[in-house]
Structure 1
Amino acid sequence: MKGKEGVAPMKKKKRIPWSLLYIAATIVAVVLFGVFNREFGNVFATMAGLTPGWLSLAIVITVIFFGFEGGIIRLLMRSQHIPMGWGSGIKIGLIGIYYSYITPSSTGGQPMQAAYLRRDNIPVGLSTAVLLMKFFCYQCAFVLCSIVFYAMMYGKIQAENPGILPLIVLGLVINGGSILFFASLFIKPVFHVICRFAKWLASRFRFLRERFHLMETIDKFEADFGSFTDNFKEKKASVLWGIVLSVPQFFLQMSVIFFIFRAFGYQDASYWEIVAVQSLLQVSVSFMPMPGASGAQEIGFSSYFRGYFIHNDLYAAVMVWRFFTYYLVVIAGALLVVADQFLYRRRQLRAGVQESMSEKR
């Protein structure tokens, strides 16, 4: 049917519900995650025979670990005069951990955090700078503590399991090198060279250059990122606090295995020894390219902790440990992502309705 002027009215273009598709994809991914991981199903039967009090403590310190993650992000954001509540900080922290765990080499964490912060009108360049500084703070604590534990455990490892020493040294070198690399990004001339290279690379692809305005986008990203290093002296205190607070956060993350160790009924190794071994395991496999260092974590655990779980329960310990340090975090992150997407979509629909009503008036 034609309109008054003889022109057929244009049909309103349907928008693709990306947020709903994203939610569906997340749910499917988690379901497949459980279906194709037989250990995930067996772990509950194993935990049924363990001491529940120690397992509960493992969950408690994991929650506190999330609190530190969000708190440090909040601290660094506030140094940029960006207000952020505790709830928002913890949400962004957990989302970053979740995407780090499900992407190769933990590459998805910071980009997805920046994407979520972009919804709150925080420039991508600025949020990226803050999130990379958060990673820098944690890496400093991680490497420093691991070096101390390496010195503490060297004699015992040399006598009982010398084959893992080269892996530990390699991990310390790689993780130490990452500290230098990310620190160099906050030197403006260095970052400018990186951005110029990105612009040169983008100029090789005409469709990217014209369709996505990459040249202007890269310039804006560089300016926003560089704003973090402006007046850096004013931010030194927050960065130092970020490093200091990352130390107890690191201990919380490394402590989960101790409570699992005690849940299995073992008492013949101290807290410091178990945490030290866990730290050295983490530094040895953290650079592996698989999502969550899957495979490397399990194999490494079997090698590093074979002298601690000695009652034919090493494989069971691996399953329980991975459940608390990986599977549980993935499940919690997926639930948060789905809930947040539903709430965000509802806010968008509500805002659209209000806008439509105001236009009619």
Structure 2
Amino acid sequence: MADPRRHLPRWRPWHGLLILMALLAPLGVTAWLGGADALAAARDFPAAMLALMLLIAFLCWNLNAARLRLMLDGRAGRLGQRGALGIELASKFALCATPGGGGGPATLLVLLSRRGLPASRGAAVFLLDQGCDLLFFLCMLSAVVAYSLLGEPRWPYPSLIQLALLALALVTLGGGLAIGCLPRLLRRPSASVARWLSGYRRRWLARRLLRCRQALRTTLGLPITTLLAVLMLTAAHWLLRYSLLYLAVLGAGGNIDWLWTFLTQMLAMAASQFSFLPGGAGAAELGVGGLLLPVVGREQAAAAVLVWRLVSYHLYLVAGAPMFLLLACRRRLSLSPCR
């Protein structure tokens, strides 16, 4: 059995090709949607607005790092803000650089295990992180649906909002039931979980799942003030991060409702999971561009997509790659993790 602390996810030559395609995708989509005028509008994007967007991205990284420290609650050794920020950037780089984002959770678990936190407990921290995100989006979508029913927003595709709320509620309910009923599911003789594995491997997987469930219960047993702080940091992170597209549209000369840009990003990022390129490249840009076109001009939408993607995706790769390589090299040189 391989030691999960041994190495970070390995990279192959074809990973570089996929990342290159992902880097070029926003430029190609912008040229296709808006042509030369859109590229010119992106070049004329206000420097002050771009600086504000970069500042917001930096704040989002630090909010996530602070949230990680609260969820760990000292279980991964002494972890300062700088060390948590390094873990955040490295794991987000792996998330953005791998198809489907599979490298992100794996990198997070490896980095936490190097600090003495077993993989099962690290998985519980990751599940709590995802659960907070789901809860936030569920609350936001419920508020948006209520607003669309009580008010008169001029939004296109109103059925998408209800469909997104239903899908998110089903995912949340299904995940909660799976975790809550896990012991019962594992005891079923007809359970189809990992039936292709040998008996030893199935028992090993069952033990890991149960340990993760127990660690999640322990994490949820943190003081209520800590859990509320985690939820507040989650809300602040997503409200800031999902304001980037709104600022990009304003900088490109458009006028748009902030709530529609929030929904646009949420729906487009969900659709991007079906892209084979890292970071959902291609699908994310087309999704956002398609949802912006009925509201703003073609050139403005295309320019906003390019600037938004540069700040929300490419910046993660640029900032996270050095930290990912640094942590990988420190392991090879048998150095201690950064504090």
TM-score interval (norm. to shorter)? 0.7 to 0.9
Contact 2:76–2:115 under 8 Å retained in 1:
no
Greater fraction of residues in helix: 1
* Equivalence for 2:260: 277
- Amino acid of the structure 2 residue aligned with 1:331: V
User: Per-residue displacement from partner, 1:249-301 (whole Å, max 9, x unpaired)?
Assistant: 111111112222232244x45xxx22x11221133234333253444432332
User: For the pair shown, which has the larger CA radius of gyration, 1 or 2?
Assistant: 1
**Residue 76 to residue 50, structure 1, CA distance change in 2 (3 Å):** same
Alignment gaps of 5+ in structure 1? 1-16, 351-361
Which stretch of the first structure deviates more once superposed, 137-146 or 91-100? 91-100
Contact 1:98-1:333 at 8 Å conserved across structures? yes
Alignment length (residue pairs): 319
Q: Deviations over 1:304-343 (max 9, x none)?
A: 3225533733222222222222222233333332232123
Residues 343, 196 of structure 1: CA spacing in aligned structure 2 closer, same or farther, 3 A cutoff?
A: farther
SS at match of 1:139: helix
What is the CA–CA distance in structure 2 between the aligned matches of 1:64 and 1:285, rounded to whole Å? 23
CA–CA distance in structure 2, aligned partners of residues 25 and 115 of structure 1: 23
Q: What's the TM-score, normalizing by structure 1?
A: 0.73
1:132-190 per-position Cα deviation (integer Å, ceiling 9, x unaligned): 10111122112212332343356555x552xx222222222222223233334553xx1
Distance 1:19 1:177, change over 3 A: closer
1:183 to 176, 182, 188: 176
Contact (CA 8 Å) 1:126, 1:228: kept in 2 or not?
yes
Q: Does 1:243 align with 2:236?
A: no
| Cα separation, 1, equivalents of 2:114 and 2:312 | 29
Runs of 5+ in structure 2 lacking a partner? 1-5, 32-37
Determine whether 1:171 maps to 2:164. yes
Contact 2:29–2:285 (8 Å) recurs in 1: no
Residues 330, 223 of structure 1: CA spacing in aligned structure 2 closer, same or farther, 3 A cutoff? same
**1:71 & 1:20 partners in 2: Cα distance?**
25
Q: Aligned partners of 2:158, 2:71: CA distance in 1, in Å?
A: 36
Q: Does 1:335 align with 2:322?
A: yes
Kept after mapping to 2: 8 A contact 1:96/1:108: yes
In angstroms, what is the RMSD of aligned CA positions? 3.6
2: distance between equivalents of 1:76 and 1:222? 19
Aligned pair 1:192/2:183, yes or no?
A: yes
Alignment partner of 2:297 out of 300, 310, 335 = 310
Per the normalisation by structure 2, the TM-score is 0.77
Q: Percent identity?
A: 17
